[in-house]
Amino acid sequence: MLLSQVVEASEAVRATSSRKTKIATLAELLSRAGPAELAPVVAWVSGEPLQGRIGTGWRTLTAVSVDPAAEPGLTVTAVDETLGNLAHTGGSGSTARRRALLVDLLSAATAPERDFLVRLLTGELRQGALAAIVAEAVAVAAAVPVELVRRAHMLSGRLPVTAMAAMTGGAPALSEFRLEVGRPIQPMLASPGATLDDAFAEFGGEVSVEHKLDGARIQVHRSGSRVRVFTRTLRDITGNVPELVELVTGLDCESVVLDGETLALNDAGRPRPFQETMSRFALSPAPGTDPEASAATALGEAVPAAASTRELLLHPYFFDCLHLDGADLLDAPLSERRAALAKVAGEHSIPALLRPDAEAAADYLDAALAAGHEGVVIKSLAAPYAAGRRGRAWQKIKPAHTLDLIVLGAEWGYGRRTGYLSNLHLGALDPDGGEPIMVGKTFKGLTDALLHWQTAEFPRHERTRDEHTVFLHPELVVEIALDGAQVSSRYPGGVALRFARVVRYRPDKEPAQADTIAAVRALLPPGSAAAE
């Protein structure tokens, strides 16, 4: 199969909003892939290389100046082999070897193929072909029930592996997947809930109300004396978290799989900032990799020196038990899984209130917020464990935050946003009359219509520009939704937005009516201290 066939299918998927058409297009593509081509094709249309992160970032790729090929000739197998070589190239002289590999690859690619590869390698393959859609396409291509594909994907942890089983062995092969202690599974996720009362009423009071911690998701597997710890993305971080390994080794069981969160606490027992917890999960750049593509600094933030050491201990809070001493519990209701959790994890279980009345649930939410947590999660006690956010068996309830901020600039986009002003620089008002204080960046929430509007409108407010950014006079106000704030040394106000996304522009507001830096700092977790 030629790379051009994958690119054509990718473009067709991007060009339609119809889920049905996306699935049909991808199913046809997968049906044409050979046995050696299926896994990389499934990975690519899901938005990432089969090898995962290969340490090649945007600046490295765009620095390769070669003319595109006139005609398509690259095969899927050849591209996958090159990406594998890039992922495993390190050591002395690796920078030159990696560049040579990229020159060979990109010079053999047509212009559309090069655009596809750059977006793939930089995580910008925004074509709407997320794992859920690709899973449905696998089901169609293999003529098997989609629920079998979803369950096999949850248990295998990797969609390319699931697709290979479906296409080569059909339903019987998919049915062979089991929870295997030591192999991570796709996690179940909580959906946003409207209000506590709505979520409580939906389940008729048969719920577990649990603290929503501002921590990092972990999945812990133990078989005998061997323990492995995985992140939400199924990355193995066992070597980074010896205290968690020691704790799980000491549990009274022979085998167990636990789902939960971990976070660092301060001396008062309150949660430390999220990026400090994430610093323990951080990766060092592999030899020869592009530093911009590494995960060496969590969330793009510089990690405080004290937080980057093993002296910052992590505390686990387990909220689910998926396996215990030979018994798989995925299909058991949460009420049974919580009983197993209490038995094996005891004091390390997350605080929970079972079958409360509405008033007690509301008090529990207030107490969670007062303790410095994000809110609560309402879980149906009757629900089994299912990967992703299918259904609403778990609902997270936490205060919604919005701020009116000043647009200070915008960066030129790349990938599908090439040619458009995209990533916004956001500032809060200085109540003392100084220049707005930058508190973050975001391109989340920007529709195609807003990208077009920004690119036309922003030059009218231009103050200056450089190669990457158009800086604006502080004249435009935008409403931003966010999950909170965190201490940051990256911005002059000592604080940064968490998970910011654009809601709308506010032409009804003057810059003087924007929120102040004090309003941003007020969203910091209790006990945090930002630079004044």
Q: Please give the full DSSP string across 223-241, using - where no structure is assigned.
A: ETTEEEEEETT--B-GGG-
Query: Going by DSSP bridges, is the β-strand pair 191-192/401-412 parallel, antiparallel, or unpaired?
Result: unpaired
Listed residue (524, 451, 526, 450) closest to 488, CA to CA:
524
Listed residue (9, 85, 18, 73) closest to 44, CA to CA:
9
Cβ atoms 525, 265 nearer than 8 A = no
Please state the three-class secondary structure of 160-207 as a single string.
HHHHHHHHHHHHHHHHCCCCCCCCCCCCECCEECCCHHHHHHHCCCCE
Buried b (16+ CB within 10 A) or exposed e, 464-492: eeeeebbebebebbbbbbbbbbbbbebbe
What's the length of the chain? 532
Listed residue (228, 314, 233) closest to 272, CA to CA:
314
Listed residue (139, 137, 132) closest to 171, CA to CA:
139
Please state the three-class secondary structure of 257-284 as a single string.
EEEEEEEEECCCCCECCHHHHHHCCCCC
Instruction: Decide: helix, strand or coil at residue 381.
Output: coil
Tokens encoding 58: 């945007």
Q: How many CB atoms lie within 10 A of CB 200?
A: 21
Instruction: Decide: helix, strand or coil at residue 477.
Output: strand
CA angle 29, 31, 37 (to 5 degrees): 75
Q: Rounded to whole angstroms, how far apart are CA atoms 341 and 323?
A: 10
Maximum C-alpha span of the chain: 69
CA dihedral 463, 300, 64, 99 (to 10 degrees): 160
Cβ atoms 313, 277 nearer than 8 A = no
Q: Please give the full DSSP string across 120-148, using - where no structure is assigned.
A: HHTT---SS--HHHHHHHHHHHHT--HHH
Task: Kindly state the DSSP code that residue 523 receives in the 8-state scheme.
Answer: T
Active-site positions read 212
Tokens encoding 263: 């976070």
Tokens encoding 255: 């085998």
Cβ atoms 193, 389 nearer than 8 A = no
CA angle 325, 328, 330 (to 5 degrees): 140
